[in-house]
């Protein structure tokens, strides 16, 4: 598989969560994407650290945790899982304290990552690139599933790819938001390594999850 698939658990059926996670593991996926929102940084609430830890204990898959919160430092101690080495993304929009938070993630044996919202210039990531193992590029406004991809999202992925090459670093590039099959093809061509799979490609209404996953894996392998 040339591009990694990170199922977005905010889109899952919480009644069957363990079965879904087992399905992903059996099919060779590597990542599980968790969105933690506080109702302030974005106007929504989702899962918290307790759920992340409980689900992570079910599986060998690596937690991919996206912190959409005003005060990530309040959440980091509860997300310390040295045995899992989770990817933890903090938003560049929180300002200068982002660098310290990335160091704190590394100190607790996590893998530091940076996230960026659509309205923020890609160049804002430059000071963080030497520190991060992944950059999460939002193709929609963070906070809700089911949105249309915003204009310029593909170009932003390409811009980031060029910027990392110039800086001599190679963090994973993750794309999140309206990841239809058509958009995944464009995102991968622009430089994305990881696709957050939500309602546009995996959790599709009227299609059994196993069938949707088979189709998505086959498509990703063809890229």
Catalytic residues: 35, 176
Residue with tokens 């994407």: 33
Q: Are 161 and 189 in contact (CB under 8 A)?
A: no
Q: Rounded to an integer, what distance in angstroms lies between the CA atom of residue 36 and that of residue 20?
A: 19
Q: Rounded to an integer, what distance in angstroms lies between the CA atom of residue 157 and that of residue 79?
A: 28
Q: What is the SS3 assignment for 119? A: coil
- Between 17-26 and 209-222, two packed helices, what is the crossing angle to 10 degrees? 30
Tokens of 89: 């993304």
Residue with tokens 């963080």: 128
């Amino acid at each position: 598989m040339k591009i990694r698939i990170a199922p977005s658990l905010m889109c899952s059926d919480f009644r069957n969560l363990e079965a879904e996670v087992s399905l992903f593991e059996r099919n060779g996926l590597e990542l599980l994407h968790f969105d933690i929102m506080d109702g302030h940084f974005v106007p929504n609430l989702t899962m918290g650290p307790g759920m992340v830890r409980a689900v992570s204990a079910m599986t060998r898959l690596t937690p991919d945790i996206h912190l959409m919160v005003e005060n990530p430092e309040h959440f980091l101690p509860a997300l310390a899982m040295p045995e899992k080495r989770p990817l933890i993304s903090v938003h560049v929009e929180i300002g200068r304290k982002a660098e310290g938070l990335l160091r704190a993630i590394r100190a607790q044996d996590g893998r530091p990552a940076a996230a960026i919202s659509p309205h923020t210039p890609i160049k804002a990531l430059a000071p963080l690139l030497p520190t991060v193992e992944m950059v999460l590029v939002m193709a929609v406004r963070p906070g809700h599933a089911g949105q249309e991809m915003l204009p310029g999202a593909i170009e932003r992925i390409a811009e980031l790819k060029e910027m990392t090459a110039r800086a001599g670093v190679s963090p994973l590039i993750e794309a999140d938001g309206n990841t239809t099959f058509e958009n995944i093809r464009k995102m991968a061509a622009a430089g994305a390594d990881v696709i957050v799979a939500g309602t546009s490609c995996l959790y599709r209404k009227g299609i059994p999850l196993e069938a949707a996953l088979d189709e998505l894996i086959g498509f990703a392998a063809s890229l």
